Copies of this chain bind each other. A is one copy, B any other.
Amino acid sequence: MPHSVAVFGAAGYAGALAARLLYRHPSFELQHVTARGDVGVRIDELYPHHRVPLELEELDLDRHARVQAAVVAYPHSAAAPLVAQLRDRGVRVVDLSADFRLRDPEVYREWYREHPVPELIEQAVYGLPELYRESLRDADLVANPGCYPTATLLALAPLARAGAIADVVIDAKSGVSGAGREATGKTHFVTVDENVSAYGVPRHRHTPEIEQELATLGAPVTVTFTPHLVPLDQGELVSCYVTLRPDALELDLEALYRDAYATEPFVELVSAPPGVRDVRDTNICRISVHHDARAGRAIVFAAIDNLWKGAASEAIQNLNLMFGLDEREGIA
């Protein structure tokens, strides 16, 4: 019998995709989709290609919180209070916002604002299955990673664990869907078309999330992380330039990565630099690692679909783990 589930905030790009994936998931039954705008509109009116004929409802916790599981796709800071209410009623939650990713509320305050429900933070498991698979099985609150941290951490985890990272520069390129559905000057076609530029310089909010997890893996470094907007819809490439510790200069990088990811269902290792087209509309992260012997660096590229592995399908991967299902169900 399928598990009942709701998506809160299903009018945005990530929430709507989560709704699509759950609507067709063999082991979940999507019972409610809510939104803060667009109430009464069907998802397939907003996003015909998702083909989800469900109507967006206004939030009504008494009705909507009777589900077993929820995906929350609210903006940062707005998510935490809803998550708290859902947890109070026993709903198991995957939260797509940044609200429960940072374990230290002080860091959250520095990069975002005062945390609305700091007492809930320690319940949360960081939802990167390749790093936290076992903890996720028992989790009731999962903090789904940011899209950039997802790609970056998968790119760097083997080197971090090996103690090989002295320093790292991360240059990321993202499609426009990553900027969300809001129509602004920045997302206007004429602004983006035939253009490339950096944003969030020099303090993008995904920086502390990356640093926290790298430190956990054994690489307590201060990273420089700079995202760029490129003229495409879905897709994200991170280019990681790792200065290697002196004792790591002779590492067999390919073997290191092969060992790390041999059994991962959603990581593909390739020898040539991956393109984001290779992983579009999939939960796959495609990685290549290269040795820049002249400069004593490792260069690692990781390509994902920012809306899939970087958000919605990763949330489903987490739900699968939480409910004891095959991790690939509904997303492979």
B-binding residues in A (CB < 8 A): 13, 48-49, 167, 169, 171, 173, 175-177, 181, 183-185, 187-199, 201-203, 222-224, 226, 228, 230-235, 237, 239, 241, 243, 270, 273-282, 286, 290-295, 297, 299, 301, 303
Instruction: Tell me which residues across on chain B come within 8 A of A196, comparing CB atoms.
Output: 173, 230, 232, 235, 237, 275-276
Instruction: Tell me which residues across on chain B come within 8 A of A234, comparing CB atoms.
Output: 194
Instruction: Tell me which residues across on chain B come within 8 A of A197, comparing CB atoms.
Output: 237, 273-276, 301, 303
Instruction: Tell me which residues across on chain B come within 8 A of A301, comparing CB atoms.
Output: 197-198, 201
Instruction: Tell me which residues across on chain B come within 8 A of A243, comparing CB atoms.
Output: 167
Instruction: Tell me which residues across on chain B come within 8 A of A281, comparing CB atoms.
Output: 49, 281
Q: How far is the CB of A282 from chain B (nearest CB, A)?
A: 8
Asked whether, in the complex, the Cβ of A181 is within 8 Å of the Cβ of B188, the reply is yes
Closest Cβ neighbor of A176 among chain B residues: B189
Instruction: Tell me which residues across on chain B come within 8 A of A231, comparing CB atoms.
Output: 189, 193, 230-232
Q: Give A243 to B167 CA distance when docked, in angstroms.
A: 10
Asked whether, in the complex, the Cβ of B299 is within 8 Å of the Cβ of A49, the reply is no
Q: Give A282 to B176 CA distance when docked, in angstroms.
A: 23
Q: A187-B189, A201-B299 are in contact. Are A171 and B241 (CB under 8 A)?
A: yes
Asked whether, in the complex, the Cβ of B226 is within 8 Å of the Cβ of A280, the reply is no
Q: Give A200 to B318 CA distance when docked, in angstroms.
A: 36
Q: A173-B196, A278-B48 are in contact. Are A290 and B228 (CB under 8 A)?
A: no
Instruction: Tell me which residues across on chain B come within 8 A of A13, comparing CB atoms.
Output: 190
Contact of A49 among B183, B184, B280, B290 (CB under 8 A): B280
Instruction: Tell me which residues across on chain B come within 8 A of A241, comparing CB atoms.
Output: 169, 171, 224, 226, 241
Asked whether, in the complex, the Cβ of A198 is within 8 Å of the Cβ of B239, the reply is yes
Instruction: Tell me which residues across on chain B come within 8 A of A202, comparing CB atoms.
Output: 290-295, 297, 299
Contact of A297 among B191, B224, B273, B275 (CB under 8 A): B224
Q: Give A191 to B241 CA distance when docked, in angstroms.
A: 25
Please give 14 more A-B residue pairs, beta carbons under 8 A apart, in addition to A193-B231, A196-B276, A197-B301: A48-B274, A49-B278, A176-B193, A181-B190, A189-B231, A190-B233, A194-B235, A195-B277, A197-B237, A197-B275, A197-B276, A202-B292, A224-B297, A228-B237
Instruction: Tell me which residues across on chain B come within 8 A of A291, comparing CB atoms.
Output: 202
Q: How far is the CB of A128 from chain B (nearest CB, A)?
A: 22
Q: How far is the CB of A127 from chain B (nearest CB, A)?
A: 24
Asked whether, in the complex, the Cβ of A276 is within 8 Å of the Cβ of B194, the reply is yes
Asked whether, in the complex, the Cβ of B176 is within 8 Å of the Cβ of A173, the reply is no
Instruction: Tell me which residues across on chain B come within 8 A of A274, comparing CB atoms.
Output: 48, 197
Contact of A194 among B169, B232, B299 (CB under 8 A): B232
Q: A181-B188, A189-B231, A301-B198 are in contact. Are A171 and B49 (CB under 8 A)?
A: no
